[in-house]
């Protein structure tokens, strides 16, 4: 196997970012492709790692930073983390490619005075070197084996998200970027509070040591603090108010990654709280399920009422993030695995959905859906992609979200209690709202007669291939995982099912 | 090899879907014939499974691959038993004829590639649903047919005026894209509930495999019954899916609007195949609940049969009554479909009412499914030709079209007679079996509802047929035929051929109707009694069979004769009756407005949910947003003002006060800094003594 494969997945994007920063004027607008190349390489690395993990034991890499005192960093890829890292990286790759045209367009709108000069190149390359810290953060969070490292990478995500949004967002970008930063810091502080409690009890930051505080009274408070912070990140009602603003105002090309940024909290909860503190976590299961189901319905209703193209997927994220939490809250092996599989499916679906909304805004320069209609005639491929995104969110076969839903709800009913039964049925009916808004918005935006200005505008057509092909790639991956969900489930099985079986 | 044909039934349509865009690059005719060719291969594969029915003791056959083995086990496979072989053949063969019809009907349509892809995708999904051996895979097929149906109903997504249905003005019209959305959402309600039922059943049984569910039912059903109400809940959830897909009460409202799709789509999806999937699935569930009630002695299991039977009967009556006044041709046929499926549900429901009635009811439901698929597909295809010729969707815009459409008149006439239940056509035989099963179950109310529905069926069928082909030509037809080189005539040859082939099928099936009934009875008996070991007893007729024939034919006459006088001969004037009777006008309005159920649903669900969404967005979210994004920061700023005050008054005060105190203390202490050595010495001694004293004392 290749040496330091996990470290490379973190370091390479950072190095590529450095190269882009240093050679930005030499690279010009090729910096986007350089970023993509770096991500192609890390995707390859992750595929190699996936094969390794799939065939055998987890991959573990340790690097000593200081001899005295002994400070070392350990990275680990098991079935859970490698699946999440690979999908996240794939989305970064797809959105990096998507951004090549999109960012140029954003700069045209935001900084017209720089066009044709070094300023334009500066902004263009700036996007990509900031963007590359997303894969750094995602890989770091996925592979971290200690809480400090996890916190560090979480903060990296928050910080670089702030700059990206402030530079390339929409109308109220700086205000919204600040708001996002504050919420991010709030989540991180809660997380840190939990970490401090854990350290005080265990004397270690290692995730595999957390179980030592099981049964301690302070375990409850550690869980509560971290969970509260992660609920804010996941935008669980009532901690969701930041989500519509942030999603609506930042550049669409990173919107999918923002969904990952929010949803990776589900992974953290499972990794850090559910598995090590299984018995202590039981108390939190029912409230999580109730909050999750409320959020699912609330988010869907909120989505239905939207008329702003960018707020549609924003509000949808609120609803969809809660699905994973519903599965995790049910606390059975199947529901947790299904919930995490749904997390992966959702981030793929949301990336497609967001990106296609971005395409429509990119082409039509219109965010108000009441001014749109009949676009399928001029943008047939975009219409199909939008519908696919909606279907991916709604859990329609053959997309992976269907398999995830089946596994997750089977796990929820497996609880065998009234709460599981009631919440399960309500949860299934809540999916109906997702189906409703998916087909409703498809109709409003793409079907029916075209408004006169759109009909006359010859520039309205499907966007360039650099924007469509990456989205098609994600759809294909989601379809493939839907047709063969065993691949993901076999990866999750030794980490979750095996652990839960021993509880 | 037999089981491989089942796989081929799934593979050929898929290849058809994938190849259609490639074939379109060659030429449109190549693509057209290519798409139809794959449906032919599918039909041929299905027909190759038919010999299995003649050696049914070899059934069931199963072929399975593991789809998911952790954390739950789901296999992907096919199951060949009499039910799946029969229904697969109905689907594949009728689909093939409909595809032939499409060669003419869809000629020149700009969206033809999309059409062929959706049609083949639909056929493949429908066959997946029918042939799957596992409830999750059935559900996948179930969702995919819904998705294809959504695409095909909204096929004319640009919503051009000519594709609107509903009306005529001043009544509201429905646009195709909205109809597709409605169909998808309404059927999805049932789908989601059914998925819940399947997953709960899995919790108790530990399997999704159909045969394993049957075999282990006596073990897990009593365990399920230990939780009070669970069997009833699961019954309702499982029934909801079929009720949605088969447009049964209370989910019937989507089907009339689904007629906005192209004519052959209505024939394929909304007459012959997809709407039958609910009947098929109920038939699949029957052995489970039959075991539950008659073998395991779980009384709640009877609710499954009661719900199915009553829903079927109510739907048969309700939809048939709506068909009495409708004027859109395809909508009348849609109401008719809903009503006829109600009969199938009724038969399957009464199947569980007694051990002696199981085979009869099950057979009646399956038999009516087959015969109805054939004659209703023919009716829809003929309707497509008629609408195309008349350039109108309303039957009161037609009249005296027999001379322009002589073949269609014959074909549609035969299909209509079969729908009415005129002997010896298959509709007569199959409806007869439904009525017999219902009567023999001794549920006389259900039987009475079914008979009244027969009256309604005869009336509306005679009415539409007469208004299309007989009587005087309408003003619209006179206008159309007065145009030079008018197109009021038969469609393309492929259209006529497909309708003719189905009509021949109807006649043939009718001639061998009794034999078919016996053959299906034997197959059902073999499947349920021999293979699955369901406990049954021999049936002893409580009533002479001829009595049902008399009642049935009598009901047909009660419905058909007035319709004949109103619309065929014109002796009676329907308009005068309508004008002169307030009661008739009220009843007409009630039926025209679909019992006001559609309006109620629109008010409660569409407006209700959108209103709720607006409340969430405009009130709750804004309040929450203001609280967190505005009031909370403002509160923090206010607190910060407090801290400023605290800082200025308290902290600054302390600091300043300390400083002043230090200065004051300094001034005080400076008094002892006199510069005189002796004073310093004295002070040092005093301090030393004081400290020594303290140490000594302590």
Q: What's the pLDDT score for residue A338?
A: 96
Q: What's the pLDDT score for residue B697?
A: 64
Query: What are the tens digits of pLDDT across the range A140-156?
Result: 999 999 999 999 999 99
Chain A residues close to B616, C-beta within 8 Å: 298, 301-302, 305
Residue B393 parent element (H or E): none
On the question of pLDDT at A62 being above 80, the answer is: yes
Return the percentage of chain A with pLDDT > 70, whole number. Answer: 100
Higher pLDDT residue, B159 or B655?
B159
Question: Is the Cβ of A407 closer than 8 Å to some Cβ of chain B?
Answer: yes
- CA-based nearest distance A240→chain B, Å: 9
Q: What's the pLDDT score for residue B370?
A: 95
Q: What's the pLDDT score for residue B58?
A: 85
Q: Assign A369 a pLDDT band (cuts: 50, 70, 90).
A: very high
Q: How does the average pLDDT of chain B come out, rounded? A: 92
On the question of pLDDT at B66 being above 90, the answer is: no
Give yes or no: residues B322 and B463 share one domain: yes
Overall number of domains in chain B: 2
Q: A377-397 as b/e, with b when 16 or more CB fall inside 10 Å? A: bbbebbbbbbbbbbbbbbbbb
Write down which residue in B540, B561, B592 finishes a domain.
B592
Instruction: Return the residue of A nearest to B181 by Cα.
Output: A439
Q: What's the pLDDT score for residue B148?
A: 96
On the question of pLDDT at B428 being above 70, the answer is: yes
Give yes or no: residues B333 and B419 share one domain: yes
Q: Name the residue among B361, B72, B327 with its Cα closest to residue B201.
A: B72
Query: What are the tens digits of pLDDT across the range A178-203?
Result: 999 999 999 999 999 999 999 999 99
Chain B residues close to A424, C-beta within 8 Å: 196, 199-200
Q: Name the residue among B263, B352, B344 with its Cα closest to residue B305.
A: B352
List chain A domain ranges: 1-143, 144-501
Q: Assign B349 a pLDDT band (cuts: 50, 70, 90).
A: very high
| Cα–Cα distance list, A30 to A117, A119, A129 (Å) | 15, 15, 12
- Choose from B613, B619, B620, B631 for mutation: most chain A CBs within 10 A: B613
Query: What are the tens digits of pLDDT across the range A413-470?
Result: 999 999 999 999 999 999 999 999 999 999 999 999 999 999 999 999 999 999 999 9
Residues 6+ apart with CB under 8 A from B116: B16, B20, B31, B32, B35
CA distance B575 to A287: 64
Q: What's the pLDDT score for residue B696?
A: 64
On the question of pLDDT at A330 being above 90, the answer is: yes
B199–A409 CB contact, under 8 Å: yes
DSSP secondary structure letters along B439-483: HHTT-HHHHHHHHHHHHHHHHHHHHHHHHHHSSSPPHHHHHHHHS
Span of B250-264, B587-601, B649-663 with lowest mean pLDDT: B649-663
On the question of pLDDT at B679 being above 80, the answer is: no
Considering the domain boundaries, does residue B406 fall inside one?
yes
Contact B259, B218 (CB under 8 A): no
A301–B193 CB contact, under 8 Å: no
Of B66, B192, B629, the CB nearest to A431: B192
Strand partners, A62: A74
Q: What are phi and psi of B530, to 5 degrees?
A: -75, -55
Place of tokens 């599981």: A420
On the question of pLDDT at A376 being above 90, the answer is: yes
Higher pLDDT residue, B658 or B670?
B658
Q: Assign B672 a pLDDT band (cuts: 50, 70, 90).
A: low
Say how many residues make up chain A. Answer: 503
Question: Is the Cβ of B202 closer than 8 Å to some Cβ of chain A?
Answer: yes
8-state DSSP, B132: B
Would residue B380 be called left, alpha or beta, if left means φ above 0 and alpha means ψ between -120 and 50 degrees? alpha
Give yes or no: residues B104 and B214 share one domain: yes
Give yes or no: residues B532 and B648 share one domain: no
Q: Assign B694 a pLDDT band (cuts: 50, 70, 90).
A: confident
Give yes or no: residues B205 and B337 share one domain: yes
CA distance A397 to A242: 32
Question: Residue B117 sits in which domain range?
Answer: 2-478+489-592
Give yes or no: residues B576 and B671 share one domain: no
Span of A395-399, A478-482, B7-11, B648-652 with lowest mean pLDDT: B648-652
Considering the domain boundaries, does residue B484 fall inside one?
no
On the question of pLDDT at A399 being above 70, the answer is: yes
Strand partners, B66: B75
Give yes or no: residues B635 and B577 share one domain: no
Give yes or no: residues B39 and B56 share one domain: yes
Q: Name the residue among B298, B261, B300, B227 with its Cα closest to residue B149.
A: B261
Q: What's the pLDDT score for residue B669?
A: 67
Q: What's the pLDDT score for residue B512?
A: 94
Span of A53-67, B75-89, B305-319 with lowest mean pLDDT: A53-67
Of A398, A402, A440, the CB nearest to B181: A440
Whether ipTM > 0.90 holds is yes
Strand partners, B394: B328
On the question of pLDDT at B160 being above 90, the answer is: yes
On the question of pLDDT at A383 being above 90, the answer is: yes
Q: What's the pLDDT score for residue A467?
A: 94
- CA-based nearest distance B195→chain A, Å: 8
Give yes or no: residues B245 and B283 share one domain: yes
Write down which residue in B592, B608, B643 finishes a domain.
B592
Segment B684-698 mean pLDDT:
70
**Segment 57-86 of chain B within 8 Å of chain A by CB:** 66-72, 74
Chain B residues close to A425, C-beta within 8 Å: 193, 196, 237
Return the percentage of chain A with pLDDT > 90, whole number. Answer: 85
**What torsion do the CA atoms of A474, A480, A484, A489 make, to the nearest 10 degrees?**
-10
CA distance A438 to A429: 15
Considering the domain boundaries, does residue B409 fall inside one?
yes
Give yes or no: residues B33 and B100 share one domain: yes
Give yes or no: residues B567 and B685 share one domain: no
Give yes or no: residues B540 and B668 share one domain: no
């Amino acid at each position: 196997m290749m040496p330091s494969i996990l470290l490379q997945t973190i370091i390479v994007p950072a190095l590529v970012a450095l190269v882009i920063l240093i050679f930005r004027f030499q690279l010009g607008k090729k910096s986007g492709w350089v970023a993509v190349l770096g991500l192609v390489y890390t995707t390859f690395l992750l595929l190699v790692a996936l094969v390794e993990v799939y065939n055998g034991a987890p991959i573990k890499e340790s690097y000593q930073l200081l001899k005295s005192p002994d400070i070392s960093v350990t990275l680990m890829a098991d079935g859970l983390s490698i699946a999440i890292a690979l999908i996240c990286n794939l989305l970064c790759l797809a959105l990096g490619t998507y951004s090549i045209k999109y960012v140029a367009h954003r700069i045209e709108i935001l900084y017209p005075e720089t066009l044709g000069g070094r300023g334009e190149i500066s902004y263009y390359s700036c996007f990509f070197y900031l963007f590359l810290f997303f894969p750094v953060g995602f890989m770091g969070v996925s592979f971290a084996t200690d809480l400090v490292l996890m916190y560090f990478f979480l903060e990296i995500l928050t910080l670089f998200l702030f700059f990206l949004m402030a530079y390339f967002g929409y109308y109220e970008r700086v205000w919204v970027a600040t708001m996002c930063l504050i919420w991010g810091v709030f989540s991180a502080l809660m997380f840190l509070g939990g970490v401090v409690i854990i350290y005080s009890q265990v004397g270690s930051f290692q995730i595999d040591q957390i179980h030592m505080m099981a049964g301690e009274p302070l375990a409850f408070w550690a869980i509560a603090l971290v969970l509260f912070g992660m609920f804010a990140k996941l935008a669980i009602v009532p901690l969701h108010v930041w989500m519509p603003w942030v999603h609506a105002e930042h550049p669409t090309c990173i919107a999918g990654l923002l969904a990952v940024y929010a949803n990776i909290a589900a992974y953290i909860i499972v990794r850090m709280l559910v598995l090590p503190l299984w018995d202590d976590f039981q108390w939190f299961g029912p409230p999580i399920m109730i909050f999750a189901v409320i959020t699912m319905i609330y988010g869907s209703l909120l989505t239905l009422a939207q008329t702003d193209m960018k707020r549609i997927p924003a509000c949808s994220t609120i609803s969809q993030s809660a699905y994973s939490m519903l599965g995790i809250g049910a606390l059975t092996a199947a529901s947790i695995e299904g919930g995490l599989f749904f997390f992966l499916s959702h981030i793929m679906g949301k990336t497609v959905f967001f990106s296609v909304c971005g395409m429509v805004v990119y082409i039509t320069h219109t965010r108000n859906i009441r001014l749109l209609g009949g676009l399928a005639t001029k943008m047939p491929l975009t219409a199909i992609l939008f519908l696919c995104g909606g279907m991916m969110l709604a859990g329609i076969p053959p997309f992976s979200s269907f398999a995830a839903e089946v596994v997750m709800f089977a796990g929820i009913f497996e609880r065998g209690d009234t709460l599981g039964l009631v919440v399960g049925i309500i949860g299934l009916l809540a999916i109906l709202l997702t189906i409703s808004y998916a087909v409703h918005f498809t109709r409003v935006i793409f079907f029916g007669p075209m408004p006169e200005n759109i009909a006359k505008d010859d520039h309205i057509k499907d966007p360039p291939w650099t924007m469509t092909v990456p989205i098609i790639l994600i759809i294909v991956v989601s379809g493939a995982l839907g047709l063969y969900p065993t691949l993901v489930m076999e990866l999750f099985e030794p980490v979750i099912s095996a652990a839960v079986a021993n509880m | 090899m037999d089981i491989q044909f089942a796989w081929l039934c799934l593979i050929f349509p898929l290849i058809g879907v994938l190849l259609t865009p490639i074939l379109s690059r060659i030429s449109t005719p190549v693509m057209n014939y290519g798409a139809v060719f794959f449906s032919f291969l599918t039909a041929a594969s299905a027909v190759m499974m038919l010999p299995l029915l003649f050696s049914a003791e070899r059934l069931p056959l199963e072929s399975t691959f593991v789809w998911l083995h952790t954390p739950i086990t789901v296999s992907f496979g096919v199951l060949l038993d009499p039910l799946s072989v029969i229904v697969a053949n109905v689907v594949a063969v009728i689909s093939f004829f409909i595809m032939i019809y499409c060669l003419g009907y869809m000629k020149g349509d700009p969206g033809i590639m999309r059409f062929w892809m959706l049609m083949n995708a639909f056929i493949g999904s429908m066959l997946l649903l029918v042939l799957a051996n596992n409830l999750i895979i059935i559900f996948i097929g179930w969702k995919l047919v819904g998705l294809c149906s959504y695409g095909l109903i909204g096929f004319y997504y640009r919503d051009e005026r000519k594709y609107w249905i509903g009306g005529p003005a001043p009544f509201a019209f429905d646009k195709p894209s909205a109809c597709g959305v409605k169909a998808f959402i309404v059927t999805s309600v049932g789908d989601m509930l059914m998925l819940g039922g399947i997953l709960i059943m899995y919790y108790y049984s530990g399997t999704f495999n159909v045969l394993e569910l049957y075999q282990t039912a006596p073990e897990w059903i009593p365990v399920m019954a230990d939780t009070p109400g669970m069997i009833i809940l699961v019954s309702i959830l499982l029934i909801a899916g079929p009720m949605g897909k088969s447009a049964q009460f209370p989910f019937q409202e989507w089907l009339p609007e689904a007629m906005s799709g192209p004519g052959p789509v209505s024939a394929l999806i909304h007459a012959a195949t997809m709407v039958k999937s609910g009947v098929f699935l109920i038939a699949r569930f029957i052995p489970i609940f039959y075991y539950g009630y008659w073998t395991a002695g779980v009384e709640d299991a009877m609710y499954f049969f009661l719900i199915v039977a009553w829903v079927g009967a109510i739907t048969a009556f309700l939809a048939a009554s709506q068909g009495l006044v409708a004027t859109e041709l395809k909508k009348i046929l849609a109401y008719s479909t809903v009503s006829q499926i109600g009969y199938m549900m009724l038969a399957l429901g009464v199947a569980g009412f007694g051990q002696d009635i199981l085979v009869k009811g099950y057979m009646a439901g399956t038999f009516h499914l087959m015969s109805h698929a054939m004659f209703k597909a023919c009716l829809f295809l003929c309707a497509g030709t008629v609408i195309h010729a008349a350039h109108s969707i309303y039957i009161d815009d037609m009249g005296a079209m027999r001379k322009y459409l002589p073949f269609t008149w014959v074909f549609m006439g035969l299909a209509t007679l079969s729908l009415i239940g005129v002997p010896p056509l298959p509709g007569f035989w199959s409806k007869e079996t439904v009525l017999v099963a219902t009567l023999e179950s001794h549920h006389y109310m259900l039987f009475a509802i079914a008979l009244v529905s027969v009256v309604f069926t005869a009336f509306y069928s005679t009415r539409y047929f007469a208004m299309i082909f007989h009587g005087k030509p309408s003003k619209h037809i006179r206008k159309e035929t007065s145009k030079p080189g008018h197109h009021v005539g038969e469609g393309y040859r492929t259209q006529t051929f497909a309708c003719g082939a189905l009509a021949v099928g109807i006649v043939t099936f009718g001639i061998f109707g009794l034999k078919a009934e016996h053959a299906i009875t034997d197959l059902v008996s073999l499947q349920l009694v021999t293979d699955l070991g369901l406990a049954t007893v021999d049936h002893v007729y409580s009533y002479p069979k001829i009595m049902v024939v008399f009642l049935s034919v009598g009901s047909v006459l009660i419905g058909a004769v007035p319709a004949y006088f109103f619309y065929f001969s014109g002796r009676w004037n329907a308009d005068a009756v309508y004008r002169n009777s307030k009661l008739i006008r009220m009843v007409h309005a009630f039926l025209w407005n679909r019992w006001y159920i559609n309006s109620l649903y629109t008010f409660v669900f569409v407006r209700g949910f959108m209103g709720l969404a607006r409340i969430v967005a405009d009130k709750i979210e804004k309040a929450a947003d203001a609280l967190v994004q505005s009031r909370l920061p403002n509160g923090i700023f206010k607190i910060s003002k407090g801290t400023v005050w605290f800082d200025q008054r308290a902290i600054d005060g302390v600091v300043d006060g300390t400083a002043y105190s230090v200065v004051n203390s300094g001034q005080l202490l400076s008094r002892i800094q006199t510069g005189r050595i002796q004073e310093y010495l004295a002070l040092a001694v005093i301090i030393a003594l004081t400290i020594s004293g303290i140490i000594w004392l302590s």
